[in-house]
A = this chain, B = another copy of it.
């Protein structure tokens, strides 16, 4: 056998492993949980399969057959991360011969003991984001973020929970959209233009909303790369220009007392959660 790093090897080495994520719902939580755990084993190559909406006996049976087929083909018991609220379904999965890590199995009994009450064990209940009011709030927040993106809709700033401020390409838009979709937070964003930066004073539009302002910044080198993608070779993207704007923004944030986050090495969810954390904004109840 030649050396082969593809994940599709029929019979891999001991460092290849088939992994399934099984949920009676979207599987987003169990994927995130499994991802966290598997990232602790960087030397392995995991062949991942997500099976969401496994909410009937027939679908569970089909899932077990797929797992067993990979077991036969690879000669190794697949790892299965599952979040099945139904105890009988969990038992069925365990009988497949896979190594099962179940979100519920591992915690629900201790939780029942701690609370002194049996759990509801209901499929579908196990997902707190279903509440239609909260759903509507998130869609409303998303609409707000889209309507107030990039300096638009400043007349709606009165209803903003937060207004992100930063130079062009500092990650404001993704952060606002994530804040709205994940947390239902009404987040606007305002780009600092060069003229505004030169004056080192808060743009007029923002002055009434000082308490809602939150600055995003990043390393000039990173900003340079991001801008090069948009307008290669431009003055806008040149490193000295990026340096000047970042320095001017930092001076402005300091002068106006605006809290500020360096997003250089952050993913969009890290930016959003850090903004939430450092702004003192309350996470909405769920």
Contact = CB atoms under 8 A, between A and B. Distances in A.
Interface in A159-203: 173-174, 177-178, 181-182
Contacts of A130: 267
A128 B52 CA distance: 19
Interface in A1-58: 1-4, 6-7, 14, 17, 25-29, 32-33, 35-44, 48, 50, 52-53
Interface in A81-120: 83, 85, 99, 101, 103-104, 106-108, 110-111, 114-117, 119-120
A40 B125 contact: yes
A183 to B, nearest CB: 10
A204 interface: no
Given A29-B36, A126-B40, A77 B114 contact: yes
A285 B49 CA distance: 10
Contacts of A43: 117
B138 A268 contact: yes
Contacts of A269: 26, 28, 129
A121 interface: yes
Contact of A181 (B36, B121, B139, B181): B181
B119 A111 contact: no
A79 interface: yes
Interface stretch (A212-220, A242-250, A274-282): A274-282
A241 interface: no
Contact of A283 (B2, B129, B273): B2
Contacts of A281: 2
Interface of A: 1-4, 6-7, 14, 17, 25-29, 32-33, 35-44, 48, 50, 52-53, 77, 79, 83, 85, 99, 101, 103-104, 106-108, 110-111, 114-117, 119-122, 125-130, 132, 135, 138-139, 142, 146, 173-174, 177-178, 181-182, 265, 267-270, 272-274, 276-277, 280-283, 285-286
17 contacts: A1-B277, A4-B285, A25-B270, A28-B182, A33-B33, A33-B103, A35-B129, A36-B103, A36-B104, A36-B128, A37-B103, A37-B126, A38-B128, A130-B267, A139-B174, A142-B173, A181-B181
